[in-house]
Amino acid sequence: MTTMLNTIRFQGCLALLMGCLLAGTAWAQAASPAERDPWEGFNRAVFTFNDTLDFYVLKPVATGYDKAMPDPLQDGVTNFFNNVGEIRTIFNDLLQLKLKQAGLDTTRFIVNTTVGVFGFIDIGSRIGLDRHDEDFGQTLGYWGVGSGPYLVLPLLGPNTLRDSAGLVPDYYISPYNTVDHDLTRYSIRAVDIVDLRAGLLDAEKLIAGDRYTFFRDAYLQRRDFLVSDGQMNHDFLEDDELFDDFDDEYPEDEALE
């Protein structure tokens, strides 16, 4: 029964992936964030839901976690989850034919997993093996798939149609899926989310003006930066100083609302 459910789930996700790919490829990428956000009404409603949930639930938990956890231990937890994320990065390195980078990222993962005690100590960065951030959404962009419209997903936050499709294969290659015990798997994911949110507490001071617009513009420029491997499109946003603290070594994810 479990195998059948997983097969049905995979087929459904595959159909969603193909639909998103077709829509993303057909989308003509506009120059400004506003033009890339044709579903703003829907997106703002979802953003408000996410932001409210964050304010009353996730942020208080992350604040308590940040205060209770000594900085060295919190850094170790962050390093551990970054190391787990290397699996996704290596997989997408290979799909993008970045063979040299894949070799370096694999070496970094092995070094941090062994000498670095399962990644709690970031030995790789200390010996010059910089961390990269690759996901399937970037892989699709690398092969010419357009970003598609901006889309805010419930709980998951800012995305585009292409990046939403990219969540499907990234989910199936996640090491978390190897944990059979549901409670353990969910607990690990919860700690990962809380640790990531705690790391963004100080970054909130950068937010200015309309929160929705800020997150949208930051996300879109960040993704364009990653997909182009740092070749910025200066016609997209001229105020580059806003994103000085966002570099290719930061996780994911994903910008949290």
Query: Does any domain span residue 252?
Result: no
Measure Cα distances from 152 to 34, 140, 146, 155, 247 in Å: 14, 19, 17, 9, 22
**Mean pLDDT per 10-residue run, the chain (257 residues)?**
41 45 48 88 97 96 96 96 96 97 97 96 96 96 95 96 95 90 93 95 87 95 90 48 43 43
Q: Which amino acid makes up residue 90? A: I
Structural domain that includes position 198: 2-243
Instruction: Please state, in angstroms and rounded to a whole number, the distance separating the CA atoms of residues 223 and 24.
Output: 14
Kindly report the pTM of this predicted structure: 0.77
Measure Cα distances from 233 to 151, 220, 226, 239 in Å: 21, 11, 11, 11
The predicted pLDDT at position 240 comes to: 45
Instruction: Please state, in angstroms and rounded to a whole number, the distance separating the CA atoms of residues 110 and 116.
Output: 9
Query: Does any domain span residue 256?
Result: no
The predicted pLDDT at position 166 comes to: 95
Instruction: Please state, in angstroms and rounded to a whole number, the distance separating the CA atoms of residues 107 and 129.
Output: 8
The single residue listed with the structure tokens 């159909």 is 15
Query: Does any domain span residue 250?
Result: no
Query: Does any domain span residue 161?
Result: yes
The predicted pLDDT at position 178 comes to: 87
Residue 122 makes CB contacts below 8 A (sequence gap 6+) with 79, 82, 83, 112, 116, 131
Q: Which DSSP letter does residue 1 get?
A: -
Query: Does any domain span residue 253?
Result: no
Q: Rg of the Cα trace of the chain? A: 18
The predicted pLDDT at position 123 comes to: 97
Query: Does any domain span residue 7?
Result: yes
One-letter-per-residue 3-state SS of 173-190: CCHHHHCCCHHHHHHHHH
The predicted pLDDT at position 139 comes to: 97
Query: Does any domain span residue 183?
Result: yes
Total count of domains within the chain: 1
Query: Does any domain span residue 167?
Result: yes
Alpha helix (H) residue ranges in the chain: 2-26, 40-53, 59-68, 71-84, 86-95, 99-114, 123-126, 136-142, 161-172, 182-199, 211-227
